[in-house]
Structure 1
Amino acid sequence: MRTVVVTGPPRADARQVDALARHGVATVHEAMGRTGYLGPRLRPVHLGHRVAGTAVTVLSWPGDNLMIHVAVEQCRPGDLLVVATTSPSTDGMFGELFATALQHRGVRGLVIDAGVRDVAELGAMGFPVWSAAVSAQGTVKATPGAVNVPVTIGGQVVRPGDAILADDDGVLCVPRTGLAAAVEAAGARAAKEEATRAAFRAGELGLDRYGLRERLPGMGIEYVPYDERDEP
C-alpha cells in the first residue's frame, strides 16, 4: 500500500448529490440495477437520518486511527467521510471528538467499516454514523495509511469524490461519473412507486399489478378449495 494523501480530487456535483438525497437507498439501489450497496454490515448508529455527500476516503490499519486525523484536513462542506481498514476491525476508531472536528468543516456524516464509540454523544450532536460495530475499545495513532484513494467495502469500490447515500436501510455508493443518470433513474422509479402505492391504497393486489397471477400455474402453484386439500 502506498502511504499517500491525495489532495483536491474531483467531487460529484453538489446539486446532483443533494438531489440524490431526496430518494432512499433502496429506491436508488433498485434504479441503478441493484449495484453500489455496501452491504448489511454497515448499520446506522442512530435511526432516522438520510444523508448524501461526496466521499473522502480513508484506508487505515486496524486499531489505528492516525489516517482519520490526517483526513479531517482534506474534508470540505458537503463531504462524507468513508473509512476502510486493511483487514477486519471492530475497534472504536471514531468518537465524539472526531465528529466535533468534522461538523466544524461541514461534513455530513461518517461511514466506517470498523467500530465507533461515544454513541450517546454522537446522537446528541445529530452527527450521522454508519458503522460495522460499536465498541469502547480504543485505538493508537502509529501506522501510516492513505487518504483519498479507492477503498473497498462490502465488495464495492468507493473512489474519492463518489456520491454516498445513507439511510436506515444502509449505505450506497454512486460513482461520480454516473451520478446524473442515477438521479434521473431514481426519480423515475420513485414516480413508479408512487403510482403503485396509490393503486394499493385503492385495493389493487400486487398479484395483478405485477402480472404475477398468470405466472403462478407455470410455477406449479394451485388453488385448492379447503374441503379438497390433501391434509387431514
Structure 2
Amino acid sequence: MISMSVELKASVRDRVGKGAARELRREGLVPAVIYGEKKPPLAISVSYKDAFRKIHEGGFLSTVIDIEVDGKKHRVIPKDYHLEPVRDFLVHVDFLRVGKNTSLTVDLPVLFINEEKSPGIKKGGVLNVVRHTVEVTVPADNIPENLVVDLAGTDVGDSLHISAVTLPEGVVPTITDRDFTIATIAAPSALRSAEGEEAEEGAEEAEE
C-alpha cells in the first residue's frame, strides 16, 4: 500500500530565535523550516497539536506532507524533529522539499502477514524478527506504508530474506551486498529442550 500524503497548514515566521520560539509554543504553534531543492529556507510555524499527533501516530519521517503556507502548497517530507529531552515536548521540525523526480532514503516498517498459514508457527514455532524496519531508497511520490512479508508456508528453521519480499516498484534496499535476513521461524523452547536432551542421550550412548 502506498503511503498517502497528508496536509498541514502553516504560517511564515517573521521572527527567529529562542524568545520567538517560546512565544510560538505559548500560542500552540511549533517553529519549523522548509529547505532543499536549491531554494532559500522558509521559516514557518505549524500547529503543535497536529505535528505532535502525526509524530506519535508513527511513520512521520516517511510521510509526504503538503504544507500550505499563505495559500501556496509546498510538498515536503519531514527530515528531522527535536523533542525537549526532559518534558518530551516538540521543539522544532525540519521539512525537506520534495521535487517531482526526488528519491529519498527512508526506513519502512515490516508488516508480517499470514501467520495462521505458517506450519512452523502452528507447531509452536516463534517468529523471531531480526529487522523491524528496512532502509530503502524510494521515489518521493511513491513511498509505501510498509514492506509486506508473507509467512504462508514457512516452517521451523526457515529464514526470511529480503529476496523473498516482493518490493513495490522503485523501492531498492540500501544494503545491496548481501541477501540479509528479516526474520526467522525459531523452534519453540520445549522442542529445543527435547532436541537438546536427545542429543545428550545420543552422545552418552555413543560413549558407552
TM-score by length of structure 2 reads 0.26
TM-score by length of structure 1 reads 0.24
More helix by proportion, 1 or 2? 1
More strand by proportion, 1 or 2? 2
Greater radius of gyration (CA) = 2
